[in-house]
Structures are given as C-alpha cells and as structure tokens.
Amino acid sequence: MKDKIKLKHIHIAVIIIGIIFLSLCAFHTSLWFDESYSVAIAKHNFAEIWQITGNDVHPALYYWALHIIYLIFGNSILAFRLFSVIATIIVRNYRFYTY
C-alpha cells in the first residue's frame, strides 16, 4: 500500500515538473516559423480557415480554437502559446491516467 502511495506521489511530481518545463517555453520573445504560420491562419475567419486547411495536414479545429483565442485576447503571442501549453497539459495528463 505504501509503495502505491509513493509511486503516485512520484507521478504527480513528474507531472508538475513537466508542466513547469512546458510553461517556461511560452515566455520567450522570439516567434518560430510554425508559430507565425499558426497565428497567420488564426487571424482569418472560420470559413477561410476551413478553406486554407483543406490543403494542409493540420486539422482545422486547432486553428479554429486559435481563432477564438485571437478574438478574445487579440494579437497576444503569450495567449496563443499558453493555449497550446494548456492543451498539451490536458491531453498528456488525460493520456497518462487512461493506462
């Protein structure tokens, strides 16, 4: 029983450390090409995003979500990055606890 509790605490610590490392990358000031591409697509309206992503390998849902972030927070690079960090944290933790 103590081993399970200790293992659970180790898993939680690893998750918290991972969240810290993921969050640190959101605060740098330079913009990478893939980020600028995503931001440029997110500035279009929903119909244009659907049309543009029809020829792209990335799903339109991500760009629609970025467009909503754009509508709420404006042209904030930090908001775009934090959205991606939060989405990554949710998906990774959900995947972790399904096994």
Confidence of residue 1 (pLDDT cuts 50, 70, 90): low
Buried b (16+ CB within 10 A) or exposed e, 15-45: eeeebeeeeeebeeeeeeeeeeebbebbebe
Q: How far apart are the first and last CA of the chain?
A: 19
Q: In this structure, are residues 15 and 95 in contact, taking their beta carbons and an 8 Å threshold?
A: no
Q: Which of 11-20, 21-30, 31-40, 47-56 has the lowest mean pLDDT?
A: 21-30
pLDDT per residue over 31-85, tens digit each?
Answer: 778 888 888 999 999 999 999 998 888 889 989 999 999 999 998 888 888 888 8
Give residue 42's pLDDT.
92
